[in-house]
């Protein structure tokens, strides 16, 4: 290790659980973070400062002012520019640790893209906001034998669980079916940034244990906690469940091509339209849309306001349409203004 390297990580190297060899392992490690919202951005910052050598940050969204209360890698300039979160995160990380590699992927994790976006990680970290994507991560990780960590936070509540394929329970072991009924979201129940950071910190510590080779220190429970009421509980998740769809039967339904289509975004009054097949020309599209509303764009996103809707378009043709949760309405707007 160089002198600069020694100095930067000296306090972490002094920790007996990591030491010099552990720090070397971290510098060679690769972590994929799926979702760079509240928990994802907090974990990305922690892992970057810890010296994890390569972070691949996968996120489909862009920075908005309402994110700034809890999403620690972003600032007002990022929100004003509507920067994609993956890009904004990579830029911010480069400002405090230029010695690691950050690979921003402005993309939605779909069955078709999973193999490419999740290529060769040592561990996958969940920073998503919906169970559909988490089941997709789980199916991929179990199939490929890649460890992953489930993390969530809403209100004052946080939860996290380590998944070691073949050794511990997976997400489908603990939750054979997606939670049903109305679920609390950040937009309905709010969220404390302290709950976010607590969940991200616990998960990041588990990532470090995995990467430095300390499997005996890994927690083998589903841990939930409430920073406001001080309640805490753990559910045993130390072994795969017999009969589990993923672990036992190897039925990876969430990896099936076409398993995901247009998606209502949880708590966002928005629909994501998943379209592809070619790159959009923002300059041409901007000229076409100007007679119908307000348009502005940069190299990453085009925003179009046609009251009462707001459309955010990405270069690959994907769109987030705010102002409706009806996928039929969103598809009609997309077809009308963008095309098929």
Q: Could you report the per-residue pLDDT of 228-250, keeping only the tens digit for each?
A: 999 999 999 999 999 999 999 99
Q: Which strand (E) or helix (H) includes residue 286?
A: helix 282-289
Higher pLDDT among residues 113 and 184, named by residue: 113
Strands (E) in the chain, as ranges, are 30-34, 54-59, 101-106, 123-126, 148-154, 157-163, 221-226, 232-236, 263-265, 270-273, 294-297, 302-306, 309-313, 319-322
Cis amide prior to 182 (ω within 30 degrees):
no
Q: What pLDDT, in 10s, does the model give residues 83-127?
A: 999 999 999 999 999 999 999 999 989 999 999 999 999 999 999
C-alpha distance from residue 238 to each of 139, 140, 241, 246 (Å):
18, 20, 9, 16
pLDDT at 174 over 90: yes
Residue 329 pLDDT greater than 90, yes or no: no
Question: Does residue 212 contact residue 26 with C-beta atoms inside 8 Å?
Answer: yes
Cα distances (Å, whole numbers) of residue 19 to 15, 23, 213, 264, 314: 6, 6, 12, 45, 43
More reliable by pLDDT, 189 or 263? 189
Beta strands in 227-293 (DSSP E): 232-236, 263-265, 270-273
Write down the pLDDT at residue 2.
60
The predicted structure's pLDDT at residue 132 = 86
Q: CA 10 to CA 3: how far, in whole Å?
A: 10
Q: How far is CA 107 from CA 59, 102, 271, 315, in A?
A: 6, 15, 15, 10
Residue 280 confidence (pLDDT): 86
When mean pLDDT is compared across 86-100, 137-151, 299-313, the lowest value belongs to 299-313
Q: Which helix (H) or strand (E) holds 92?
A: helix 85-96
Return the sign of the alpha-carbon dihedral for residues 283, 59, 64, 340.
positive
pTM for the structure as a whole: 0.84
**Run of H or E including 139:** helix 131-144
């Amino acid at each position: 290790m160089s002198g600069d390297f020694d100095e930067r990580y000296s306090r972490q190297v002094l920790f007996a659980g990591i030491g010099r060899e552990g720090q070397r392992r971290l510098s060679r490690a690769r972590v994929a973070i799926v979702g760079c919202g509240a928990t994802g951005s907090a974990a990305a910052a922690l892992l970057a400062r810890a010296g994890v050598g390569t972070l691949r940050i996968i996120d489909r969204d862009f920075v908005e002012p309402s994110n700034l209360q809890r999403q620690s890698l972003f600032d007002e300039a990022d929100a004003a520019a509507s920067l994609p979160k993956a890009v904004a995160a990579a830029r911010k990380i480069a400002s405090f640790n230029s010695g690691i590699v950050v690979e921003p992927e402005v993309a939605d994790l779909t069955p078709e893209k999973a193999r490419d976006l999740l290529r060769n990680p040592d561990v996958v970290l969940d920073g998503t906001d919906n169970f559909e994507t988490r089941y997709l991560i789980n199916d991929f990780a179990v199939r490929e034998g890649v460890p992953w960590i489930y993390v969530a936070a809403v209100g004052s509540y946080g939860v996290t669980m380590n998944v070691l394929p073949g050794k511990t329970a997976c997400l489908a072991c603990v939750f054979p079916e997606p939670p049903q009924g109305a679920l609390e979201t950040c937009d309905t129940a709010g969220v404390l940034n302290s709950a976010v950071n607590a969940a991200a910190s616990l998960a990041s510590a588990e990532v470090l244990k995995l990467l430095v080779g300390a499997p005996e220190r890994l927690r083998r429970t589903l841990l939930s906690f409430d920073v406001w009421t001080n309640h805490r509980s753990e559910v045993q998740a130390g072994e795969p469940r017999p009969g589990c769809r993923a672990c036992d039967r190897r039925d990876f339904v969430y990896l099936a091509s076409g398993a995901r289509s247009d998606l209502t975004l949880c708590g966002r009054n928005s629909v994501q339209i998943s379209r592809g097949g070619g790159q959009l020309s923002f300059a041409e599209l901007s000229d076409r849309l100007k007679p119908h509303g307000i348009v502005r764009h940069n190299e990453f996103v085009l925003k179009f306001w046609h009251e009462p809707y707001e459309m955010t378009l990405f270069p690959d043709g994907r769109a987030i349409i705010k102002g409706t949760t009806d996928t039929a309405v969103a598809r009609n707007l997309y077809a009308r203004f963008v095309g098929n």
